[in-house]
Structure 1
Amino acid sequence: MVIPLMKQAADEPGTDEQGPLRCGAVWDEGAACAVEARRALHAFLAHVPCTGRTPVPAALAIDAELVVSELVTNAIRHAPGPCGMILRLSGDELAITVWDTSTRHPVVRERDGRRFGGHGMHVVHTVSSEVTVTPLGHGKQITACLRPAPGNGADAMIRATSTV
């Protein structure tokens, strides 16, 4: 079951005059799926222009979809129990945090075109400006920060829809 947390924290420091925009989802054990996580991302991105902010650039939205898919899929495959995701937009930075119950840090493997699978964390690191892993008492959280590529103009902006 997904529990939406579409709340804005007014007391959180950020670069937006309005403060950062946040959204979260929590899934019970065995209930998480990458499709549902991508839907939550799409709904979040579709809500951004409704708050008076500039829409997220198309390339950033595509990279965010990859990151959400990879991090949630890893949580499903490698961590028993519940997991969750928090999306946070502050200024032009989109932070995607996924938490799970595994204390094992993810491994970024070298690229190998002959290997099936095991490329997800490499993809996350490639499209993100920063990736951090924070141990928690009951697992870990991984945060990937994405920023638009330099030179993306208004023609690269999209208005996200809630379709997958």
Structure 2
Amino acid sequence: MHENEDQPLARRPILSALAFEGSEPITEARCAARRFLTDVQAVHGIPVSDRAMGTVQLAVSELVTNAYKYAPGPCLLDLEVSEGTVQISVWDTDPTLPAACPADPGRVGQHGLEIVMAVCQSFEVRREPVGKLVRAAIVLADGPGGDPAGRLL
């Protein structure tokens, strides 16, 4: 028996877990995120705004790019929908925690972490027994009184 079998289906999280280890993980991850959110809408009837669809793909792309670029070995992407939010988790093998670069208007590139932090409702980085986990949450439906990241104004 699973621990949440007695919960109604609508209250259970909707999950997707993928492992990437290849030459094109970024494209695969973006496509997987889009398929996952499309299924969330079609199968489960949970609204996903166009903003959320694009923002999730952007965040997945940036986080998987960083894992692929800076960590040796595979990376894992978990997507979980619960209570109107998608939680994006990317695990990789490098224990070094990422940090946003200092502001520099002349810098080209290395803005991925800043972008993800700006568009997410919440952001967390933590070391794991092996490697690290980067987690970002994005609200799925646009609502009145909030900014594009789903934070209340």
The two structures have a TM-score, normalised by structure 2, of: 0.83
> Is 2:80 the counterpart of 1:93?
no
1:122 is matched with: 114
Q: Does 1:143 align with 2:135?
A: yes
Q: Any residues of structure 2 matched to 1:101-116 within 5 Å, and which?
A: 101-116=93-108
Cα separation, partners in 2 of 1:11 and 1:134, compared to 1, 3 Å:
farther
**Cα-to-partner distance string for 1:7-65 (whole Å, 9 max, x where unaligned):** xx8729x997341111011023x445210000100110111123332231111111111
Measure how far apart 1:144 and its partner are: 0.2
Runs of 4+, deviation exceeding 3 Å: none
- Amino acid of the structure 2 residue aligned with 1:137: P
Amino acid at match of 1:55: P
- In structure 2, what residue type is equivalent to 1:27? F
Stretches of structure 2 that go unaligned for 5 or more consecutive residues are 146-153
Does the C-alpha gap of structure 1 residues 16 and 108 become closer, same or farther in structure 2, counting only changes over 3 Å? Answer: farther
Which of the pair has the greater relative contact order for Cα pairs under 8 Å at 6+ separation? 1
What SS does the corresponding residue of 1:96 show, helix, strand or coil?
strand
Corresponding residue pairs, total: 142
Gaps of 5+ in 1: 1-8, 153-164
How high is the TM-score relative to the length of structure 1? 0.78
Q: SS of 1:115's equivalent? A: coil
